[in-house]
Structure 1
C-alpha cells in the first residue's frame, strides 16, 4: 500500500509529510531534522543531496546547486533569470531546449544536468528519506508549487516527480495547500452557512504569495491570489550582506564580493543575524579568516536592518491589494489573516502586515509545516485505500487561457475558455464543425497579464479520426476542454456526433376513472448522438515519453552508483575500525587466548592492512575492503571465539554458584521453618493433657 506523501518543495528547505496513524506526520531526515536543505551537490565519486550537500557547500560551492524551484522549467532567456543569477554560485548555462542547465564537475569531468533532472534528483532523495522513516511503499506524491508557476513550470514539476519514480497525483499551489490544511484541521471552528473570509500570506525564502479564501465546513474557494516573485528571506539576507560588505571594505580593506566563498560565508552569517534580530534588538557578526586570512567582526541593530530592507517593506501592500481586488473584498471584510513562511517572523514585516489589514495577525498554522501537511491530506484524498473526511476545494486561475482552431463553419477561430479569476478544476464543452482531422491550440489570452518572457503557446492537439457522414461536408465535433486539478490545460476527450431520428413517447393527460386508456402514441424527433471517439495527439511543454524514460534510467544509474560509493565507504570504515579494535583487544582482552605465534602473525597482518589502507587501498573497491576484512577476521574470530567461550564458562560457573547459593538459602529457610513449627506444637500438647485431666 502506498503511503500518501506530501512535499513542500522550499527554495531553501523542504518539508515532508505523510498521512498515517490517523493523522499527518512530519517526516524527519537522516539527522532527525524536520526540514531538509534543498541542495544538490556533485563530487569526484558521487552526489551529495540534502544534508550532505549542505555540509560540503562552502568547500564545493561551484558544484552545488541551490534555489532549485527558481530555475525549474525556466527559459535561459527569461527576464526572471537575469534577477536570479546573483543568487547562484554554480555555473548555469543554456541547454538545447533553450532552458537552464547546471554545468558541474562530476566524476572528474564536466557534465550538464537540466533543472528538471536536478529537481528529480532532489525528490528522489526526499522519497528515500520517507521510505526509510515510514518503512512503507512511496509512489504517490502531492507536490506544491508557487502560485506564479506557468503551465510550462508545472509540467516540469510533474516531469521531475516521474523521473524520481513518483506519481504526481496533484500539483497544487503552495498557499492553497496551507488553506486546505486550515479548512480540514480547523473544521470545528468554521461556520456551516456563510463562509469565513481568510487571507493566507506566505513569505518564504524567495517569494511572497497572498491568497484570499472563503472557508466553511468541508469547503474552500480561493477568491483571489497575487504574488511578488522577488520578495523573501534571501532578499533580506542579501541586504544585510551588502551592508557588511561595504563596511568590511572600509574597515578591513577587503571586498568580499570579489570572492564567491567569502561572500557566501557573509551571506550565511547574515541569515543568522536576521534570525537573532527577530527576538533581539542587536546582533553581532564574527567570521574568522573570511578572506586573505582576515578575521572580521561587527554588529547591527534592528533599526538598521529595517532601514536596509525599507525598499522591500514599501511594496508589501501591492500583492495584498491585487488579491483583495480579485476577490471583490476590502481589508475590512477579512475575518482572519493567517501568516506562514519563515520570513514572517521578522517583527517589522509583521507590523506592516497588521497595519495594512487593521487587525492582528493569526499564527494558528505551523509557519514551516502548514503547506506540507495540506499536501499530505490532498494526497490522501486521492488514495483508494484511505478514508478521509470529505473536503472540496477550488483554486484561482491566475491567467486567462483561450483555445484556437482554424475557422471553417464557425464565426470565430478562438474562444476564451478559462478566464482569469475563474475557479478550477473546471470543464467546458465546445462544438466545432469539421470536415477532417484538425489542430487545436491552447494559448494565454493576454500576454501582458503573464510574467515577462512567458511563451503564449501552452499546448496543441491533433484531433484525428474525423469522418463526415456520407453526403455531408461537415460533421459536428465535441471537445471536452479541462483545466484539471493540477492546473494543466487539456482536451480530455473528443468525439463526433450525428443527428438521428428516434421515436419518443407522447405524454398524455391522466384519464379519469372509468375511461379506457388510449393507445400509446409516438412521435419522431431528431437527436444528436455520439458517432466516433476521436484520437488526440498532444504536444506540450512536458518532456516526451522517450526523454522522460532516458532521464529516469540515468537517475536510476546514478542512484546505484551513489549506493555503491556509500557501501564502499562503509566497508572501508568497517575495516579501519576492525584493525584498531582488534589491535587494542589483542593486547588486553584477547592477550591470554592467543599464542605468541598467532599474535605475531596477526600483528603483522594488521600492520600490513593498515599500511595498505592509507596507501594503495585508500581509494580501492568494495570487494577488496571485504576481502581484507575477512582475511583478518579469519584469525581474529578464532581468538575472539576462545575469549567468548571463556566468558561463557565464567558466566556458567557464576550461574551455578548463584543457583547453589539460592538452594542453600532455601534449605536454611526450610530448616528454620521446621524449628519454628516444633516450638509451637509442644505447648499445645500440654494444654490438651491438662484438659483431659
Structure 2
C-alpha cells in the first residue's frame, strides 16, 4: 500500500511518496521531478503531462493548461474569462460549467474541467505506480486555501473518476506548515510561547500568506489571506506584452496576430524571467519567430520590475490582512518562510523582508515543500506508516450560514444562523436543534459573497429532513442535525435524529462525603439518595436527503467508464506506435546484418528474398502502413521473422557453440590452474615436512655429540685434585 501526496499546481505538479524512512519526490517518464499540468488532444489519442508540453506549440487549440483554475467553476464566472488569456484552447460552456472544446479522435468534443483534472490525475497515478511498482489508491491532494465547497467537491469527484481515494484535500500553505513542523525537534512545549511563522507562498498563478502557530506536536493556522491573481505567469505576460511592442516597432512583426509566435515568445519570457532573478540583465533571442524573422532583445532587471510595478504594489496587502486577522503585529512573527517559484524574484524578497523588518527563511525546498507536506499528511492518515503524532488545526476561510423556512407554529423563530464563522477550526462539527411538527428543509450558503473568488454561487447545499411529525399530544418533535465541515473543507449535514425530554433518576452525592473515602461502612445498609432530572434522550433517526454541488453517483460512474475507455485507447495507441517503431528499426537492423554478421549463415537466395521483403514492407510502412492497427504491424514483423528466422537460428547456434567452446576452455584452464595450485600446495607441504624431519635429525645428532664430549663428574674432580698436588 502506497502513501502519496500530490501538489497539483497551475503550471506543474509534484508527487511526494513516503519511503526509505522519509519523503521522496519521484520523477516522471523523462526523469523530471515535476510534471506539466497540461492535457492535449489529437486525432489519435490524448497527450498528458510531458507529452502535452512537447506538442503544445504545434497543437495550441487542443492543449489545455491551468486545470485547477477552471475546476468547479461556472462558465459565466469572470475568473474563467480571465483564464482564457492564459489558455490557447477554447474555454466553453459545458452544461453550465467551465470546460473546453477540442478536436479529439477526428471530431469536436467537450470536456468539463473536472474531467480534465481526472485525466491528469490518471496520468499522475500511472507515473507513481510505475515508479513504486505498487498500485496507487490513497492520496492527499493540495488545493488553494481560497477554494470553495463546490471547487473542493469537484476535486474529490475528479479523484474518484481517476480511481483515487482522496484521504484529504489539504490547503497549500497548511501542507507546507506540516512539512515544516513535523521535522522540527525544537518546537516549544504546551506551556511555552508558541513559535509563530508566516508562510509566504507565491507560485505560478496565485499568492497566499498564512500565519501559523507551532507547539510540540501540533500546528494551529491563525489566519490566511491571498491574492488569487498574483503569480509568475503575470510576470511572463507583462514581459511578452513588452516584447510584442518592441518587435512590432523594431522588426515589423505583430506576435499578437500569430498564436504560435505569441506562445514561443511567452515561453522565452518565462526563461528570461528566471535568468533575471540571478542576473542584472539578460538577452533573449528567437529564431524565425514569424515571417522568417529572427528577433532579439536585451532586458534589465530594473525594466522588468517597472513592467510589473502594479503587481509589486499589491505585494504587502495579503501580509497586512493575515496579520490583522491573526491579531498580531509584525514583531510577533518569529520566522518568514518563503516557498513557491516566484519568491526567487529579488524585488519580491526585498519588499517582504522590508515589510517584516527581518531576514527571510528559505529552509524548505521552494518547489517541493507542498508535495512533501501532502505526503506527510497522507502518512499520518494511513495505517501503513508510523509517523510522529502531529495535530493539524486548519481554519474556515468563508463564513457559512444555514437558512430555513419559518415554522408556522413559531412565528417569532429566527430563520438563519451563522454556523461556521471565518476562522472557525476545521474539521468541525455543530449540532443544530429544531422544534418541528412536519418535515422541513434547510439550505447552507456562504454569508459574505464579496469574499468569494470570482462570482461563485454562494449556495452550498439543500438538506431535506424527513420523518418529522408531532407526538401524541401534538407537541413539537425535537430534531437534532449534525452539520460537519470535514477534513476536505466540505460541508455536509451528516445525520439527523430526534430526542425526547425524559425524567431520569441520578444519585445525589451525600453532604460531607469526601471523594476517595477509603471506607463507607453504612454504604450497604442505607439506600442511596437520588434525584429526578430532565434529560434529552435520543429516540430515533431522521432520514436526510442532501442536494449539493457534487456529481451524482450515476453520472460519476459514467465518467469513470469514459475515462477508463480513453485510458485504454491511449494505451493501445502507445503500444501500436511501439510496434511500428520496432518494425521500422527491425528493417534497418536486418538490412545491415544480412551483409554483416548474418552474411555467412544465409545463402544468396535467402539474402535476395529477405532484401526484397524488407523493401516491400518499408515501402508499405511509409505509404498505407503509416497509420494502421497494432496487429498489422505485428503480422508484418512475423513475415520478416519467417524468412530471417532460420538465418538467425544458424547464427545463434554458432554463437552458442563458440560460447560453449569458450566456456569449456575456461573450465579446462580453471581446472589446470586448480591442479597447479594443488601441486604447489603439496610440494610446499612435502618441503615443510622434510625440513621438520631434518631438524629433528639434527637435534638428535647434536644431543649424542654433547653426551660423548662431556667428562663424568667424578673424573673432573680427580683431575682437579691431581693438579693441586
Q: TM-score, normalised by structure 1?
A: 0.95
The Cα of 1:509 is off from its aligned counterpart by 4.1
1:537-556 alignment, distance < 5 Å: 537-556=545-564
3-state SS, counterpart of residue 609 of structure 1: helix
3-state SS, counterpart of residue 571 of structure 1: helix
Moved more, 37-46 or 625-634: 625-634
Instruction: Report the CA distance shift for 1:129/1:680 in structure 2 as closer, same or farther (over 3 A).
Output: closer
The Cα of 1:382 is off from its aligned counterpart by 1.6
The CA distance in 2 between the partners of 1:178 and 1:448, in whole Å, is 27
Structure 1: which 5+ runs fail to align? Answer: none
The Cα of 1:667 is off from its aligned counterpart by 5.9
Cα deviation digits, residues 371-424 of structure 1 (max 9, x gap) = 011111111222123221111111121111111111223620111111112221
Aligned with 1:176 (options 170, 174, 177): 174
The CA distance in 1 between the partners of 2:681 and 2:319, in whole Å, is 90
The Cα of 1:79 is off from its aligned counterpart by 2.0
Cα deviation digits, residues 499-529 of structure 1 (max 9, x gap) = 2333334443478868983234444443211
Q: Are residue 165 (structure 1) and residue 163 (structure 2) matched?
A: yes
The CA distance in 1 between the partners of 2:375 and 2:327, in whole Å, is 31
| 2:400 alignment counterpart | 401
Aligned with 1:591 (options 581, 585, 599): 599
Cα deviation digits, residues 55-104 of structure 1 (max 9, x gap) = 000000110000111111112111222322211111111122x2211000
The CA distance in 2 between the partners of 1:312 and 1:16, in whole Å, is 30
3-state SS, counterpart of residue 182 of structure 2: helix
Contact 1:238 1:267 in 2 (8 A): yes
Q: Are residue 576 (structure 1) and residue 578 (structure 2) matched?
A: no
Q: Are residue 315 (structure 1) and residue 314 (structure 2) matched?
A: yes
The CA distance in 1 between the partners of 2:175 and 2:636, in whole Å, is 53
The Cα of 1:689 is off from its aligned counterpart by 11
The CA distance in 1 between the partners of 2:249 and 2:682, in whole Å, is 99
The Cα of 1:600 is off from its aligned counterpart by 2.2
| 1:380 alignment counterpart | 379
Aligned with 1:475 (options 474, 477, 484): 477
Cα deviation digits, residues 198-228 of structure 1 (max 9, x gap) = 1000000000110011111111111111111
Instruction: Report the CA distance shift for 1:452/1:92 in structure 2 as closer, same or farther (over 3 A).
Output: closer
Instruction: Report the CA distance shift for 1:385/1:669 in structure 2 as closer, same or farther (over 3 A).
Output: closer
Instruction: Report the CA distance shift for 1:630/1:419 in structure 2 as closer, same or farther (over 3 A).
Output: same
Q: Which has the larger radius of gyration?
A: 2
Cα deviation digits, residues 162-217 of structure 1 (max 9, x gap) = 11111111111111110111111123355552211110000000001100111111
The Cα of 1:452 is off from its aligned counterpart by 4.1
Instruction: Report the CA distance shift for 1:459/1:679 in structure 2 as closer, same or farther (over 3 A).
Output: closer
Instruction: Report the CA distance shift for 1:689/1:86 in structure 2 as closer, same or farther (over 3 A).
Output: closer
| 1:453 alignment counterpart | 455
The CA distance in 2 between the partners of 1:516 and 1:427, in whole Å, is 44
Contact 1:407 1:413 in 2 (8 A): yes
Instruction: Report the CA distance shift for 1:148/1:513 in structure 2 as closer, same or farther (over 3 A).
Output: closer
| 2:716 alignment counterpart | none
Cα deviation digits, residues 280-320 of structure 1 (max 9, x gap) = 11111110111111110111011111111111111101011
The CA distance in 1 between the partners of 2:483 and 2:91, in whole Å, is 37
Cα deviation digits, residues 530-584 of structure 1 (max 9, x gap) = 1121111111111111121111111010000000000111111111112221221
1:177-326 alignment, distance < 5 Å: 177-192=175-190, 193-326=192-325
Instruction: Report the CA distance shift for 1:649/1:194 in structure 2 as closer, same or farther (over 3 A).
Output: same
1:374-523 alignment, distance < 5 Å: 374-408=373-407, 409=410, 411-509=413-511, 517-523=525-531
Contact 1:197 1:215 in 2 (8 A): yes
Moved more, 160-169 or 673-682: 673-682
3-state SS, counterpart of residue 45 of structure 1: coil
3-state SS, counterpart of residue 569 of structure 1: helix
Aligned with 1:607 (options 615, 638, 641): 615
Moved more, 124-133 or 434-443: 434-443
The CA distance in 2 between the partners of 1:501 and 1:659, in whole Å, is 97
| 1:356 alignment counterpart | 355
Cα deviation digits, residues 591-646 of structure 1 (max 9, x gap) = 11122222222222222221221122111111111111122223323222211211
Moved more, 513-522 or 542-551: 513-522
Give the CA RMSD over aligned residues: 2.3
Instruction: Report the CA distance shift for 1:415/1:665 in structure 2 as closer, same or farther (over 3 A).
Output: closer
The Cα of 1:450 is off from its aligned counterpart by 2.5
Contact 1:213 1:221 in 2 (8 A): yes
3-state SS, counterpart of residue 655 of structure 1: helix
The CA distance in 1 between the partners of 2:275 and 2:325, in whole Å, is 37
Moved more, 578-587 or 331-340: 578-587
1:54-133 alignment, distance < 5 Å: 54-96=53-95, 98-133=96-131
The CA distance in 1 between the partners of 2:189 and 2:509, in whole Å, is 46
| 1:43 alignment counterpart | 42
The CA distance in 2 between the partners of 1:665 and 1:386, in whole Å, is 55
| 2:147 alignment counterpart | 149
The Cα of 1:252 is off from its aligned counterpart by 0.6
Contact 1:205 1:232 in 2 (8 A): yes
3-state SS, counterpart of residue 550 of structure 1: helix
Q: Are residue 560 (structure 1) and residue 568 (structure 2) matched?
A: yes
The CA distance in 2 between the partners of 1:586 and 1:265, in whole Å, is 46
The Cα of 1:587 is off from its aligned counterpart by 1.0
The CA distance in 1 between the partners of 2:232 and 2:85, in whole Å, is 15
The CA distance in 2 between the partners of 1:678 and 1:19, in whole Å, is 64
The CA distance in 2 between the partners of 1:172 and 1:334, in whole Å, is 24
Instruction: Report the CA distance shift for 1:496/1:599 in structure 2 as closer, same or farther (over 3 A).
Output: same
Instruction: Report the CA distance shift for 1:658/1:529 in structure 2 as closer, same or farther (over 3 A).
Output: closer
Structure 2: which 5+ runs fail to align? Answer: 514-519, 706-725
The CA distance in 2 between the partners of 1:251 and 1:494, in whole Å, is 71
The CA distance in 2 between the partners of 1:567 and 1:234, in whole Å, is 36
Moved more, 435-444 or 266-275: 435-444
3-state SS, counterpart of residue 612 of structure 1: helix
The CA distance in 1 between the partners of 2:387 and 2:675, in whole Å, is 66
The CA distance in 1 between the partners of 2:690 and 2:175, in whole Å, is 86
Instruction: Report the CA distance shift for 1:672/1:372 in structure 2 as closer, same or farther (over 3 A).
Output: closer
The CA distance in 1 between the partners of 2:106 and 2:598, in whole Å, is 45
Instruction: Report the CA distance shift for 1:500/1:588 in structure 2 as closer, same or farther (over 3 A).
Output: same
Contact 1:187 1:218 in 2 (8 A): no
Q: TM-score, normalised by structure 2?
A: 0.91
The CA distance in 2 between the partners of 1:320 and 1:552, in whole Å, is 42
The Cα of 1:684 is off from its aligned counterpart by 4.8
The CA distance in 1 between the partners of 2:699 and 2:210, in whole Å, is 101
